[in-house]
Structure 1
Amino acid sequence: MLLKIKFSLQRRVHVAQGLWLLSWMAVIWGGVIFCLGVYLKTELLRRAEVMDNTEIHVVPDILMLVGLASIGTNWLASRACQDSLDPSRFPRWRVPLLVWFSVAAVLCCLLIAVFVLSYALQGSLEESLKVGLRNGIRFYKDTDVPGRCFQKETIDRLQMEFRCCGNNNFKDWFEVQWVSNRYLDFTSKDVKDRIRSNVDGRYLLDGVPFSCCNPTSPRPCMRYHLTDNHAHFNYDYQSEELNLYGLGCRQALTDYYMELMNSTGPAVLSVILVQISVLVSLRYLQTAVEAAMALEDPAGDSDGYLLEKSVKETIEDLKAQALTMLKFGQVDPDDAEGSPEAADVEKDEKDAAPTAGS
């Protein structure tokens, strides 16, 4: 037996009481994990228009799944604790507890996966935001195009909320036409010259939308002719502290979402520790109570353990059981030959042989 411990009746009672409290603590933590998953999912959906893929959604999805499963499994654990000291009621938990241990182990593995993914998906998040923001800036002017009507509002709100500008920086706006053609005077010489000077016939500006302006700057917002030192008084493009947000929105959003996901780390670790504690304690309580019932002395001493055999032997047994389950339902060729159907076929062949010879 692995990690065998001697349990008296009083110790079993104390373990059952402590495990009951621990189970309800795990239920509360499961609710917290579920709420964290819902909040993170909501924040990701709010800005889905500036994301190119949804790989990052796997983190809140697993958090919500594990949170709900944790609430259910640990509630069942609390019920099992209540029945553990009643010889007439505990036997009914023999099979359900086997399923419970499997589910609890899977939950722990999923929580560890969430903890790892919350850090490992940073590169995927950055790439998704990079492509999504690039498309958002490119479609900023398409306020009359179905499906893109609110793209301008989304980008403007995003830049003001996160105090950022462009994808990498404000210069990203120099590379796209962000002013719609419906607001351009094509009789103006300046407009014609700018369109003709561009290979793709786009109206490009060394300017940015109003949402890039930093309200804390003492200088009035300068949005146009940002690279022209002569367009503004006492202005030097190379050395001037521009009154625009200097942080790119990709970096701002990446920092925001990574902070959200990393903040779930302590909560996830806490749930992992609580869940493992419930798992181990309930296993000891189960084996100790079953041993006492096997001795037909519910008030006597009994042995509790984690595994009946060593870890290696347990793994080998599980492998054998898995292989047996995989072979279940397969037809054995030898058995098939001796089956009634095979006998009927063989009989029909024999009956047909004389007929063919004649």
Structure 2
Amino acid sequence: MAVGQVAFTKADREKLAELLWLLNWISVLTGAMLFALGVFLKIEIQKWQEVMSDQEILRVPHMLMTTGVAACGINFLGGKICLDCADTKKFLRWKLVMIPYVVCTFFFTFCILVGALMCYSVSTQLEESLFLGLRNAMRFYKDTDTPGRCFLKTSLDLLQIHFHCCGNSGHQDWFKVQWVSNRYLDLSSSAVLDRLRSNVGGHFLMDSVPFSCCSTFSPRPCIQQQVSNSSAHFHYDKRSQLMNLWGRGCRQALLDHYTAIMTSIGVTVLLIWLFELLVLTGIRYLQTATENVLRLGDEHLESHGWILEKSFAETARLNLNIMKNLGKCYQAEERQQDHNINTHGAGSVTRQH
């Protein structure tokens, strides 16, 4: 029994064709929207790509842009096909194209769903990328004279100021790296030399943070040096240092930022997918109903359209048998080629004798 079988009169088929023509043109606009969302997401990622360890997350905007371009092309062609399907004689020009077109539209619609799911599944990978990227960027913060790293200081400072964050997980991350370049250290000072000798790897570590960690909401001038030493500053309680420095880590700040963007884009893409699924269903009904009219031989007669000609189980069994037969044909062809090679080889040996 056919799945989703519906009866269509001639007037119903014409109205369906006209409606699908309109929906396909709307789908061209949604395809352009998909492309625009991909471009927007790529730009947002590239703003802070210097603090990411890998660029695998760029697969999401690339997927959206590719799907958007495909949507524009497929739906533009679909509008022309659906308009011609209103006339049975014009449908004959597209009869051989309809099955490949429906299959391509199905896979394109599936790709939209994959793009939406990618927006929700990338958060774990993004968090790891930000953790490693920020850790490396903080290590190279001081290398303002090294090619390829000279802009990391500016990028990190702008990041901390823009997102009101400090360090990777918090301001104490700056205590574990040397973020002051040796060129700005007085190496003739015994205090500096003692600190360099006392730390592992000869790094100049101290309980201080860059200026960009300072909170603009602090009621007093920012305390950057000896942050953990309450006695070093007048009327300073290190328990209230959250008022002095940004309390949130930049990894969480960026993760929240991108998660909000991804969630919004994911919802939009899911809505586009539902719309494209509706268009695909309508095209399938139009195709099957019009083909049945051609079998009947009279376009004025009522015809039936369906999503699947047989039940889900029968369709799956039929496709499985087709795949098995293709596999058997391929194996038979390989055996025949091996037989020909062996026969040719034996003939060559016989002639030599």
Taking a change above 3 Å as real, the CA distance of residues 50 and 349 of structure 1, as seen in their structure-2 partners, is closer
Q: What residue number does 2:118 align with? A: 117
Greater C-alpha Rg: 1
RMSD: 2.3
Q: What residue number does 2:295 align with? A: 294
Q: What residue number does 2:158 align with? A: 157
1:197-231 CA-to-partner distances (Å, cap 9, x unmatched) read 22322111211111111223221111111112122
TM-score between the two structures when normalised by the length of structure 1: 0.91
Is the partner of 2:88 in helix, strand or coil?
A: coil
- CA shift, 1:344, in A, is 6.9
Is the partner of 1:142 in helix, strand or coil?
A: coil
What is the correspondence of 1:1-358 to structure 2 with a 5 Å cutoff? 1-327=2-328, 332=333
Gaps spanning 5+ residues in structure 2: where? none
Is the partner of 2:236 in helix, strand or coil?
A: coil
1:326-349 CA-to-partner distances (Å, cap 9, x unmatched) read 45565548856997x877766666
In structure 1, what is the Cα distance between the partners aligned to 2:331 and 2:184? 73
1:219-265 CA-to-partner distances (Å, cap 9, x unmatched) read 11111111121221111113454321111000000000111111112
* Letter of the 1:196 counterpart: R
- CA shift, 1:109, in A, is 2.3
What is the percentage of aligned positions where both structures have the same residue?
42
Is the partner of 2:232 in helix, strand or coil?
A: coil
* Letter of the 2:84 counterpart: D
- CA shift, 1:146, in A, is 1.5
* Letter of the 2:10 counterpart: L
Gaps spanning 5+ residues in structure 1: where? none
Higher alpha-carbon deviation: 103-112 or 261-270 = 103-112
* Letter of the 2:41 counterpart: L
Equivalent pair of 2:18/2:86 in contact (CA under 8 Å): no
Equivalent pair of 2:120/2:266 in contact (CA under 8 Å): no
- CA shift, 1:72, in A, is 1.5
In structure 2, what is the Cα distance between the partners aligned to 1:284 and 1:83? 15
Is the partner of 2:89 in helix, strand or coil?
A: coil
Taking a change above 3 Å as real, the CA distance of residues 33 and 123 of structure 1, as seen in their structure-2 partners, is same
Higher alpha-carbon deviation: 341-350 or 259-268 = 341-350
Aligned residues: 352
1:140-184 CA-to-partner distances (Å, cap 9, x unmatched) read 000111111111111111111111110001111111110001111
In structure 2, what is the Cα distance between the partners aligned to 1:132 and 1:348? 64
Taking a change above 3 Å as real, the CA distance of residues 338 and 226 of structure 1, as seen in their structure-2 partners, is closer
* Letter of the 1:48 counterpart: Q
TM-score between the two structures when normalised by the length of structure 2: 0.92
Is the partner of 2:238 in helix, strand or coil?
A: coil
Taking a change above 3 Å as real, the CA distance of residues 346 and 195 of structure 1, as seen in their structure-2 partners, is closer
Is the partner of 1:72 in helix, strand or coil?
A: helix
Is the partner of 1:303 in helix, strand or coil?
A: strand
